[in-house]
Amino acid sequence: MEYTQLGRSGLSVSRLCLGTMNFGPETSEADSHTIMDRAHEQGINFFDTANVYGWKKGEGVTEQIIGRWFASGGGRRERTVLATKLYGSMGDWPNETKLSALNIRRACDASLRRLQTDYIDLYQMHHVDRATPWDEIWEAMSVLRQQGKIIYVGSSNFAGWHLAKAQEAAHRQHVTGLVSEQSIYNLLTRWVELEVLPAARDYGIGVIPWSPLNGGLLSGVLRKQREGGGSRSTTGRSADALEANRDRIDAYEKLCADLGEDPANVGLAWLLHQDGVTAPIVGPRTVAQLDSSLRAVAITLDAEVLARLDELFPAPGPNGAQPAPEAYAW
């Protein structure tokens, strides 16, 4: 496994981040524990979760699964860079959602109890709160840091101007501010290249891509169909997206076959080649899926392959492959 620093911080994290969203709803607790053990065996030290994962309001099912794994000892907590999130509704009463100072305090304490730990390495805001002032948010986060309950703060699903606003408010309060931003980013969804990536690079914020395979559309879905395999990518909105992109996904899978690589690993490797990306989030449902994703770190894509991928999946903006404002201006 390779490691890098998370943004401008001194924190070392693996180039793949273990996503835990499937733990509980899709993967049993026993299998989830096995996957986390396997991740450690393979050198993955960066785990991502959220208080809402498990999708039973207020229960924090996935955090509880991780907490019981930590409680089993063996240095599991000490070897893990633990990231969790707040924002989503954890109840039906006022102040059980978003980023008020009150909810930040309560949500953090609840996550600590479920995770059976006394600190969170990376505490992430799951979404922008348009109603709460940044001075209030940073004061609340600073209190948690002073209490030793969190170490770093990150964001998720922020626009570029939200990153700028957050960092400027942090600078006014003389606090570190954000060290990471978690955004949807993959070959099919490249909008962050316009504003988010440039802003993140400028402020020293590490980018953690979620949905790196666009819900499975970049995982070899057409090959799996031909082989008779089922996939969540062939139902609902994913099926519509597949039909809309069938030709270029087919060309992509042929390119991967020519490279002798699995499409899922090429998709992850492409992200690892992007300036500013810290670690794509892989969300395995099985140990086999986790093991397969490890290959991505070893893949080197040359300039010709990267250019071909840009042809198949162009960057957004009429001028393409440029940050804003050059993407849409001179």
Give the separation between CA 149 and CA 188, rounded to whole angstroms.
37
Give the CATH number of domain 3-214+271-299.
3.20.20.100
Q: Mean pLDDT score of the chain, rounded to an integer?
A: 96
Region for 60 from its dihedrals, namely left if φ exceeds 0, alpha if ψ lies in -120 to 50, beta otherwise: left
Which residue is catalytic, options 3, 53, 203, 328? 53
User: Average pLDDT for residues 279-295, to the nearest whole number?
Assistant: 97
CA 266/CA 278 separation, integer angstroms: 16
Give the residue ranges of DSSP H helices in the chain.
29-41, 61-71, 101-115, 134-146, 160-172, 196-203, 221-226, 236-244, 246-259, 263-272, 287-293, 303-312
Report pLDDT for 312.
97
pLDDT at 230: 58
Report helix, strand or coil for 269.
helix
Q: Is 304 exposed, middle or buried (0-12, 13-18, 19+ CB in 10 A)?
A: exposed
Active site residue 203: no
Q: Which two tokens stand for residue 13?
A: 């994290």
Mean pLDDT for the stretch of residues 15-21: 98
Residue 237 pLDDT class (50, 70, 90 cuts): confident
CB atoms within 10 A of CB 249: 25
